[in-house]
Structure 1
Amino acid sequence: MRRVTDDRKGSPRRGPGPARAEERAAPPVASTGRVRRHPLLRRRRVVVGPHTVDVRGTFDPARPPVVLVHGIGMSGAYFLRLADELAVTRDVYALDLPGYGTTPKPRQPLSVAELGEAAAGAVAALGLSRPVLVGQSMGCQVVVDAVRDHPGLCSGYVLVGPTVDPDAPSRPAQGWRLLRDTLREPPRTNALVLRDYLRMGPLRYLRTTRSMVRDRIEEDIRGCTVPGLIVRGGRDPIAPHDWVRRLARAAPDARVVEIPGAPHNVQHTDPKELAAACAPFLDACRPARRPDGSA
């Protein structure tokens, strides 16, 4: 059910990957209980500099870690269906970055670069060793900044529906694409998006869009030397076909996967298909085994 393009620049290579379970530090986190309707996940809060990040995760150090980074206005809630799929074989963490979801709001909304620092800080606070970072929409820009600015942070990255296409570099152009996508998303997804947008607030949202459209992911991704996978839904007007392939060609080592018929929020509408499409890449990012059988 997926199509992989041939315009890859290298294939995912095996890197150091996560450390053995006994080598990973116990995360300094405060537990806040289970996640309703998602029994494999627990809620915790970590401190990252002057901010806090709320996390829904499996907290299972015996498995390879994956960190999910949401887009503008959103929270880790729209990753939970994908998290359930990934949690069968992986240690999964869905973040609420500062000012999003259930986290306290900073005095001023954080820029893309500042959110990248918060995401990298959350990886450290959770005691994760070289996870795969997965971003969606503006979360792709956040992930790329974190990967570029923190060499050795991760073993690979996945960008799902990346923004911002240089062919639509303004807030009105992005708003028009968002409207078109809204008409393609199912009501359940739109309801979740609207709830999180209202929670963030319109003024904070608009101020963040200024940083989003000024950020140049197509330039920043040149500094991401670990393997990458770029994914789009086949009906995603926010991350069109040509833009995703141009972005992959700008990266040192990235390839493209497309989920036929899916809209922008493919992680919520088609979580099984997205998990299956990412599985070969995630497996390739696992650490190689040493002769003694350890990671």
Structure 2
Amino acid sequence: MRQIYFTRSITIQGKRVRYQVIGSGEPVILVHGLAASSLWWRRNIPALARHYRVYILDLPGFGSMRAKANAITLAEATEWLQTWMQHVHIQRAHFIGHSMGGLICIRFAARYPEQVASLVLVAPSVLFHQTSIRANILPMLAFLTHLSPAFFPIVCYDFLRAGPRTTLRFARELLSMNVRQDMQRLRVPTLLIWGEKDTLVPSIFAPLAQHLIHESRLVLLRNAGHACMFEQSRSFNAAVLSFLHAQTQTQERNHTEKNVTFPLLDS
């Protein structure tokens, strides 16, 4: 089946937003992390788009939205995402969020559960202890030194596009934001994916995240770090598609059961 692909620009709250759409079917929204962009999903989009309508956007302040005039705060990102969905006429979608994007998706699902069909949280930046930017310098260096040659240029390019000021401002917000209660409130199907060798958001946090999120599933990817969706894209894509297909089948079955009618029996 031929995939539908197009790029659109719209204005939200006086700010220009560009997003891409590829594929057809139920909507899947990709939300990238700190100092990242839609480029981080390049090894996942083709596989997802064979079965779903994939929406790829850059958060304000990052990627193609790097202009200062587009900047928002991390706290505003949830409402911004909801407003964007209204503008593009998406009532309900599957969400896949990486790192900071995972945190945004958690906050969104806690506030707008009726708009979330399912969640895939990829090494979400949920910190279970107080930390500081200085304490994250060594993990960041470890992340950079273990990047694959194919991924290193993307990381550098996106960091330069975001700039140190925007990155630092979002990082400070990220480190001070507690989403534990939001995680406990979640009642949507959730898949957690972590790279076993993640240095930025260590996989030691994965079991605790799974414990906090009601009936969530956890997948650990071997030989993968923080950017596990790029580093182990085949395993990642297989896990995500298996999860999404299961949710789609469950929702279709529930819809059928709600609409089934039974013939009246003669007494």
TM interval, short-chain normalised: 0.7 to 0.9
State the partner residue of 1:126: 88
Q: What's the counterpart of residue 174 of structure 1?
A: 136
1:162 corresponds to which of 106, 120, 124: 124
Residues 76-87 of structure 1 aligned to structure 2 (within 5 Å): 76-87=38-49
Cα 1:110/1:176, change in 2 over 3 Å: farther
3-state SS of paired residue (2:33): coil
2:78–2:107 Cα contact (<8 Å) kept: yes
What is the aligned counterpart of 2:26 among 64, 87, 94?
64
SS of the residue 1:46 aligns to = strand
1:230-256 deviation per Cα after TM superposition (whole angstroms, max 9, x unaligned): 101121112222211111211123121
Cα distance, 1:59 vs structure 2: 5.7
Counterpart Cα distance in 1 of 2:207 and 2:187 = 17
TM-score between both structures, scaled by the size of structure 2 = 0.86
Q: Which residue of 1 aligns with 2:179?
A: 217
Which structure has more relative contact order (CA 8 Å, sep 6+)? It is: 1
Equivalent residue in structure 2 for 1:189, among 140, 151, 156: 151
With normalisation by structure 1, the TM-score equals: 0.79
Kept after mapping to 2: 8 A contact 1:56/1:76: no
SS in 2 for 1:142: helix
Q: In proportion to residue count, which structure has more helix?
A: 2
Structure 1, unpaired ranges of 5+? 1-38
Distance 1:149 1:70 in 2: 19
Aligned 8 A contact 2:197 2:203 in 1: no
Count of matched residue positions in the alignment of Structure 1 and Structure 2:
253
Find the residue that maps to 1:113 and give its secondary structure: coil
| Post-superposition CA distance 1:89-142 (Å, at most 9, x none) | 111111111121112635584222211222222222222232111110111111
Matched residues in 2 for 1:168 and 1:255: separation? 26
SS in 1 for 2:220: strand
1:49 aligns with 2:2: no
Please give the root-mean-square deviation of Cα atoms over the aligned residues, in Å: 2.2
Q: Is the 8 A contact 2:34 2:99 kept in 1?
A: yes
2:224 paired residue among 248, 254, 262: 262
Q: Cα offset for 1:40?
A: 5.7
Structure 1 stretch displaced more, 44-53 or 261-270: 44-53
What is the alpha-carbon distance in structure 2 between the residues aligned to residue 51 and residue 174 of structure 1? 32
Tell me, yes or no, if the aligned pair for 1:109 and 1:207 is still in contact at 8 Å. no
Which residue identity is paired with 2:139? R
Q: Which runs of 5+ in 2 are unaligned?
A: 260-267
1:1-295, aligned counterparts within 5 Å? 41-58=5-22, 60=24, 63-103=25-65, 105-107=67-69, 109-167=71-129, 169-286=131-248, 287-289=251-253, 290-291=255-256
Q: CA deviation at 1:80?
A: 2.0
